[in-house]
Amino acid sequence: MAEAALRDLRLEETVEVARVGHRLALGVQWIDALTQLPVESPAGAAWLSDLEAIGTRPLAQRFEAHSQGRQALRHAGRYRKLLDHTVAEADPLDHAVRAFGMRDPRLAAYAIGQDPRRYVPRRVAFTPVLASGVPPASIVNTRTAWLWPGAAYPLPSRSTGLRGCIRREVSPGVNATVPWARVIATRAGAGPANFNTEAQIGWAHGDDRGEFLLVLGNGAVSGAADLPAALNLNVWVFLPPTLPLFNAADPLASLPLDNAGTAVLNDVLKGMAVPPTYAPQAVRSLSLALGEVRTMSDADLLFV
């Protein structure tokens, strides 16, 4: 019996098994930097993400919330029109996103009094990957970003860490809190403090009030057989060259914008990279007992 001739399959001979209902423009999964688990919000509150601009073009659009700390932006509606215009003009494609906690997620904009202060807000610029001017029908534009503890973060018992409020002297005898600082703890060596050679063992983001909470994990203790009674630390505070122009009506406008590019996960997305305009202040050295969360003195956190 002769073999049947091969021919191309026609559309009417196929069966639809799936359909793309919408195209993902950008997806972000927010991770707790300490637990490495998806973010959890207090009862009745929510962690929200807002697109504030594509390149230089403003666009206020809230991400859709999904399970496991995931939030998504669809390639549709006003967003699609603005993206098409941006691509046609060959303008920058970076997506500036504000992420923050709110006790009442129905409110349109961030409000200081509504912040549960479980995590410090972030502003991150993501650059999506496009194919022929549109996001591919895949998960290529999903990102992972970390959130660092806020002043009201629920610490486990026997945690080891530091908290405090950062100030800067703006004129003789006049001090002002510095919002959005970055703090890094390093393991002190035998010689003079040296940020470039010492092991970094703790990170913190300052909030709008200048307050920070830095928690040390298991990796803070070296691999010695016996646990030390205390850790010798150097604490490095990084501040912008001048006080941010803080606007109480729009507090997040002064947040530094961390530019993550097209990376799925890097130190910028982790919040471990210091903003390029920030500079280190005079180092503070201390000995911290294990199982202690110490509040640093105002004098230790006052910078010129």
**What is d(CA 95, CA 108) in angstroms, rounded to the nearest whole number?**
19
Task: Provide φ and ψ at 227, rounded to 5°.
Answer: -70, 135
Question: What residue segments make up the domains of the chain, in order of their start?
Answer: 24-147, 160-241+277-303
Q: Helix or strand or coil: residue 199?
A: coil
Q: What is the pLDDT of residue 243?
A: 84
Q: Provide the total of helices (H) and of strands (E) in the chain, helices listed first.
A: 2, 20
Overall fold of domain 160-241+277-303 = Immunoglobulin-like (2.60.40)
Q: What is the pLDDT of residue 12?
A: 72
The encoded tokens of residue 47 equal: 């962690």
Q: What is the pLDDT of residue 17?
A: 59
**What is d(CA 277, CA 42) in angstroms, rounded to the nearest whole number?**
34
- Would you write out the chain's pLDDT as a tens digit for each of its 304 residues? 455 566 676 767 777 655 555 799 999 999 999 999 999 888 889 999 999 999 999 999 999 999 999 999 999 999 999 999 999 999 999 999 999 999 998 888 999 999 999 999 999 999 999 999 999 999 999 999 999 999 999 999 899 999 999 999 999 989 999 999 999 999 998 899 999 999 999 999 999 999 999 999 877 776 555 678 899 999 999 999 888 888 888 999 999 999 999 999 999 999 999 999 999 999 999 999 999 999 999 999 999 8
Q: What is the pLDDT of residue 143?
A: 98
**What is d(CA 233, CA 189) in angstroms, rounded to the nearest whole number?**
9
Overall fold of domain 24-147 = Immunoglobulin-like (2.60.40)
- Closest to 160 in 3D by CA, of 232, 60, 267: 232
Q: What is the pLDDT of residue 5?
A: 62
Torsion of CA 77, 83, 85, 89, to 10 degrees: 180
